[in-house]
Each structure stands twice: as structure tokens, then as C-alpha cells.
Amino acid sequence: MKSKLLVIGIILLFIGTAVFSSSGQTIGKTSVRGGHWLYVGGSGLENYTKIQDAINASSDGDTVFVYHGAYHEKLLIKKSIHLLGENKETTLINYEGHGISYPVVNLSADYIIFDNFSLNVTSGESECVAVYSASHCKIHNNTIFGTMWGIGVYHNSNMNEFYNNSFHTISCALDLGDFSPNLCSGNVLHDNSFTNTGGSHHIYEAGLLLEQSAVNNTISHNYFHDCTEYGILSLESKNNDIEHNTILGNTSKSQYGIGMKWSEEQAYIGNIIRENTIVDLAEGIYSETSGHTITGNAFENDSYALDFSNGPINLIVKNNTIRGSVIGMDIWYAIGAVIEGNTFKKSKYGLVFDFCQNLTIKFNNFSGNTWAIAPETSSKNVISRNNFIGNTYFVLSFRSRNIWWKNYWDKPRFLPKLILGLFPFTQFDWLPALKPYDIPGLT
């Protein structure tokens, strides 16, 4: 009998503990991070009124849970805690700034988790969130409205993860890195949504700004819509992977998809840009820098799909699909670039290159363009084993002498293919192909 009563007592004890813990009104709940839970808002007797008070009372590993409501305060987090909102639609951090001031939420410790909030900076130039000298943090599932900046990541902030956030800002939605030797590397930005309205008159307006110290980061599966004036702007940032993103402009085509710029002198950068979808922009990718690998991207209805100026070196443009552009690819002063396996389709000009030497242009499809290829003042470039099918005109050549070899020119040709131009007037593909090359993207 006693043993039965003992069993019943243990069961009731477990039930009582479960009910007590699920009420969400006590500080004593154990966190999945190994610490305790502290509560802000709600109806619990021991709950805090202000978020910062709960943060100050917390320890590393604790979770500060914030019930729905509007909180008008700035936050400084210098502990490895989890700051968790009840619902990102109804748990609001609002702030009215005046002029330039400190961030509304400042994360300055490693292993912070910040999620499930709406941040709204309604005036002034404060950042919504700043990550400063903080690593291994997770910022996710937030909605961020800002008059100026959304999130800034600075000064040796590494291996952080930003995902499932929605940005609606005026100037720059997310700023990664700065112009200092303190690198921000290994950060991952994925599955976020970016838009910015512009009009702040700040020198840089972009969905994502990658500054000089942003090195070896991954930007993937994000959605950029109608950003002014760049979806992604890189200022000498290096060795970043930009992949599987969607960047959409609008019918006015007034924006840039991805811009890569330099400040004082030509910079060797070396970013990898692959398998992005870039649509309805003034320029899909614009670059003044060198060393990039651009592969597997899809460009649709951009005025300029690819625009390279300032003499890029070690440039690889491979397996991209470019459709419906005014100019598919325009490249200036380049030496030794590789342009391979791309499809240029239904554009006014497929490939234009000016003042270039020693380019390798091979295994590309040119179909349905007004002008397939247009070299100007360019020499010693090797143009071989490409398909030229269904274009209004093949080549617009001016003051250029290049090497044409084994290209397919609309039909089987048993004699050399004459290529007309100005200065020199004639060139030849001495051994044209008898059938099209099997290159993906031809149809």
C-alpha cells in the first residue's frame, strides 16, 4: 500500500512540475541552453517590466523571454544569452532617434541569440541592430524597419548567422564589415528578404553592403526586391560566396543587382558569384574589380546583364544564361579573361568587348540576338567553337583583329567563313564547324 502511494505521489509531483513550468510566469524555468528563463511583460509576479533590466539580471546561458507588447528602449547585450520574443508580429521594440546615435540593439558578446522581434526605428539615423566584436551569434526571424540602417556587423565579428529576417529600410538593410584591418569573416546570411526605399542621401544605398573587411562570408538564398540603388554592393570585400540569391528590380530598370567597386586603386578581389537569378535591372552585375568567378547565373531583361570596366584580370565568366538584354556582356580593357559555356539569347548585342586582349571566348551559344558579338579595338582574342544560330547579324567588328576558329555559323560551311569589319575590313574563320556544338542552353 505504501509503495502504491509513493508511486502516485511521484506521478503527481511530475504533473505539478510540468504545469508550473508551462505557465511561463516564473523565473525558474530551465533553458535549453542550460541556463534559466527570465520573463519580460506578461502577468507573472516576478516578471520584469523592461527588457534591459532582465538582461542585466541574466547570466551566460540564460533565456530572456519577452511577451508581446511595445517596448520603447535601447538594449545592450554583453552576455551569451538568448533574447526571445513571443511573436515577431506583436513583440515590438520601437525607438525614436534624433540625429546620429548609438544602435537600438547592441550585441557585444559571443553566442548571443536574438530572434522573434519587430524593430522599428522611426526617426534619426540609429542602427536597429549592431553586432560589434561578437562571434557565433544567431540573429533570425526578425522584421526590421529602419530610417537608416538595419543591421551593422563590425570589428572582428565572425561566424555569425543571419537568417529568416525581413528588412525594410531607407538606406542600407545590412552592413557587413568596415574599412579597418579587423576582419569580419565566416558569417552566413541566408533566407533573408531585403528591400530599401532610398532617399536618405547617404553615399551608399543597398540591400546588403559588403565593406573592405568582409572576407570569406557566404550570402545565399536571399531575396532582394526593388532595392535602391544596389541589391548587393561590395566595396573591396574579398573571397565571398554569393550564391542562389534572387535579385529583382522593376520595370524602370533603375537599380543595380550586384555592384563591385573600389575606392582608390584597382583592387584584386576574387568573389564567387554563382547560380543567382537577376532580373529587370539597369545592370545585373557591375564590376570595377578583378579576380571574380561568375558562373551559372540567370539574367533576364536587364539592360546590361554583365558590365566589367577598369581592366579586370583573372576573370572567369562561365555557364551563365543571359536573355533579353540591351547588351548581354560588356567588358573593357581586360586581358586574359575566360568567357565559356554561356548562352546569349534575344539581346540587342550579345557580347561586346572593347580594348581587350588575349580573351578566351569558347563554347558559347549566341542565338536570336540582333548582333551576336561586337569586338572594338581588340586584338589577339581567341574566339573558337561557339554556336552562332539565328542572329540577325553575326559580328560587328571595328578596328579589331582576332583569331576565329571552328565556330558554327548557322549552317554547315565547307569553306572559310568571311567576317566583315572595319580596319581590318576582312577576317576569316578558316575552319568553320559543320554542325552545332552540344552546349547546354542552346534551345
Residue 291 predicted with pLDDT over 90: yes
Find, among 117, 175, 162, 106, the residue nearest to 142 by Cα.
Answer: 117
3-state secondary structure of 17: helix
3-state secondary structure of 20: helix
Residue 198 predicted with pLDDT over 90: no
Count up the domains in the chain and report the number.
Answer: 1
Query: How far apart, in Å, are the Cα atoms of 193 and each of 93, 112, 117, 166, 239?
Result: 20, 22, 15, 5, 23
Residue 429 lies in a domain: yes
Q: Is 124 exposed, middle or buried (0-12, 13-18, 19+ CB in 10 A)?
A: middle
Task: Read off the C-alpha cell for 432.
Answer: 568553320
Which of the four pLDDT bands, split at 50, 70 and 90, describes residue 106? very high
The answer for residues whose C-beta is within 8 angstroms of residue 13's C-beta and 6 or more apart is none
Residue 25 predicted with pLDDT over 90: no
Q: Is 133 exposed, middle or buried (0-12, 13-18, 19+ CB in 10 A)?
A: middle
* Domain around 339: 310-443
Q: According to the model, what pLDDT value does residue 6 have?
A: 42
Cβ atoms of 420 and 401 closer than 8 Å: no
- Per the prediction, the chain carries an average pLDDT of 89
**pLDDT per position as a tens digit, 77-98:** 999 999 999 999 999 998 876 5
Pairing of strands 138-140, 161-163: parallel
Q: According to the model, what pLDDT value does residue 172 have?
A: 87
What kind and span of H or E run contains 56?
helix 51-57
Residue range 64-84: average pLDDT?
A: 97
Q: According to the model, what pLDDT value does residue 16 have?
A: 42
The per-residue b/e assignment along 141-176, b for 16 or more CB within 10 angstroms, e otherwise, is bbbbbbbbbbbbbbbebbebbbbebbbbbbbbbbbb
Which of the four pLDDT bands, split at 50, 70 and 90, describes residue 7? very low
pTM score, whole prediction: 0.90
Q: According to the model, what pLDDT value does residue 22 have?
A: 34
3-state secondary structure of 55: helix
Task: Read off the C-alpha cell for 148.
Answer: 537608416
Residue 44 lies in a domain: no
Which of the four pLDDT bands, split at 50, 70 and 90, describes residue 28? very low
Residue 399 lies in a domain: yes
Give the span between the Cα atoms of 250 and 202, in whole angstroms: 22
Cβ atoms of 301 and 323 closer than 8 Å: yes
Which of the four pLDDT bands, split at 50, 70 and 90, describes residue 184? very high
Query: How far apart, in Å, are the Cα atoms of 118 and each of 195, 309, 343, 405?
Result: 16, 41, 43, 60
Q: According to the model, what pLDDT value does residue 202 have?
A: 64
Residue 5 predicted with pLDDT over 50: no
Residue 162 predicted with pLDDT over 60: yes
Residue 271 predicted with pLDDT over 80: yes
Residue 264 predicted with pLDDT over 70: no
Pairing of strands 365-367, 393-395: unpaired
Q: According to the model, what pLDDT value does residue 443 have?
A: 64
Q: According to the model, what pLDDT value does residue 164 have?
A: 98
**pLDDT per position as a tens digit, 116-155:** 999 988 776 778 999 999 999 999 999 999 877 899 999 9
Residue 108 lies in a domain: no
Residue 364 lies in a domain: yes
Q: In this predicted structure, which of 118-132, 308-322, 386-400 has the lowest mean pLDDT? A: 118-132
Residue range 47-64: average pLDDT?
A: 98
Residue 388 lies in a domain: yes
Q: According to the model, what pLDDT value does residue 166 have?
A: 97
Residue 316 lies in a domain: yes
Conformation bin of residue 253: beta by default, left when phi > 0, alpha when psi is -120 to 50: left
